[in-house]
Amino acid sequence: MSGIPKELASRIAHFARFPQTGVSLRQMVEFGQRPSQGTLLRAAQFLHDELPIRLAHRVVELDLLPDNLNQMQSVLRVKRMYVDSFNELINFPKVSDRIKDAVRAATVREATERKQLPENHVNPACSDMQRNASPHWIPSIQHRYHYEVKPTELPVEVSEYNRSFVKTLEKIKRRHDPVVTTLAQGVVEYKRLLQTDRINSSVQHFLDRFYLSRIGIRMLIGQQIELNQSQQQKDYVGVICTHTNVAQVVQEAINNAQFVCGDYYMLMTVPEIELHCPRDLEFMYVPSHLHHMVFELLKNSLRAVVELHGDDADKYPPIKVVVAEGNEDITIKVSDEGGGIPRSAIEHVWTYMYTTAQTPMLDPEFDKSDFRAPLAGFGYGLPLSRLYARYFGGDLKLISMEGYGTDAYLHLSRLSDNEEPLA
């Protein structure tokens, strides 16, 4: 591996041979309700094993990118972030034998006492081809993610170890904040090198895998950090809200999108957005994920409407948001009259870097998290939103009428039992 010390590269290659272990949203919630310090230590051990495997998979893939994409300066920066985090985790102290013995003695072993986590179901985002391509057997998640430990008195070193591990996770999370935008800049550099305005399918599939993995890594890290906090918000288990109010989250996304649109185009009056949603509709989800997906859809619709009708129009046709509740899914439809998308271009909207706006150049020291880059220009909004939907078993689809407008359908699984789509 280029640019990596030989011994470290050998360890990365070793970890990359192991399979990744998926976790479902419902399992995270069932595990995270009233966890003891001993249970949190078991979860820390799972992450101590699992995160280096996930990071190693991505380092190897970054190293093998074709057509000199792996040599772009921004791509090398991302690889260095992953290598540094991998190195930090594998060198983090192991749990001492004394702690192991104490926690092992308190671990629930009898089947009659043990709380079984709900069974995972295959995520629709995982194709049969992806699953059959893996030569590894992935063990049942109950054997790795969840060990229930009785709330007995444990050595003080247990809580100290948990706090120390959380500090390391917080550092890694901050380090990886700018990964999405930095890698996007790398693809911009790559396109300019090849003098092309499109990326090929192999790069597209790599970005899908890479960003899905990133969502999973940040989800596991964020969950572990929040579960170790002394106080939890009402209805929250880590970063997951067990009673996410759809109307409230969507309304907040509406307000934010309208503010950004008005500021970007310097409008006195922004297009109206009508929300049709039962006020008491709740389900288990990650509110920040839901907010981001709806915000991106609304941002696209507002931009289409304003640019079609002009920023000096007296009145704009309203954008309509309709939320429907089904047995399996909650579906959010965003409808606009922004002129629509030509049928020949529909598939291109899912391609990274496909955008009708001018692509901006970011400062090399840009370090903001995923979605604080400029309003438009990277062409990442829709592809990333679809990945966020698919991560927990949902999907995002578009139906457009050229010359009139576009309907976006955001499907969210309310069953919450789909495992992560790992590749």
Active-site annotation holds for 347: no
Q: Quickly count: other Cβ atoms within 10 Å of residue 315's Cβ.
A: 9
Burial of 47: CB neighbours in 10 Å, binned 0-12, 13-18, 19+ = buried
* Annotated catalytic residue within 296, 337, 419, 420: 296
DSSP of 362-403: PPTT----TT-S-SSSS--HHHHHHHHHHHTT-EEEEEEETT
Cβ 176 vs Cβ 211: under 8 Å: no
* DSSP annotation of 155: -
Active-site annotation holds for 292: yes
CA dist list (Å): 377 to 120, 137, 209, 303, 354: 38, 41, 22, 12, 9
Place of tokens 């399992």: 27
* Annotated catalytic residue within 300, 320, 411, 418: 300
Query: What's the rounded Cα separation, in Å, for the pair 27 and 41?
Result: 17
Give per-residue burial for 390-404: e unless 16+ CB within 10 Å, then b: bbbbbbbebebeeee
Active-site annotation holds for 296: yes
Token pair for residue 307? 């640019």
Q: How many degrees, rounded to 5, is the angle at CA 407 between CA 327 and CA 127? A: 60
Place of tokens 């090849």: 194
Q: Quickly count: other Cβ atoms within 10 Å of residue 306's Cβ.
A: 20
* Annotated catalytic residue within 79, 191, 291, 299: 299
* Annotated catalytic residue within 57, 79, 191, 292: 292
Active-site annotation holds for 337: no
Cβ 183 vs Cβ 191: under 8 Å: no
* DSSP annotation of 143: G
| Catalytic center residues | 292, 296, 299-300
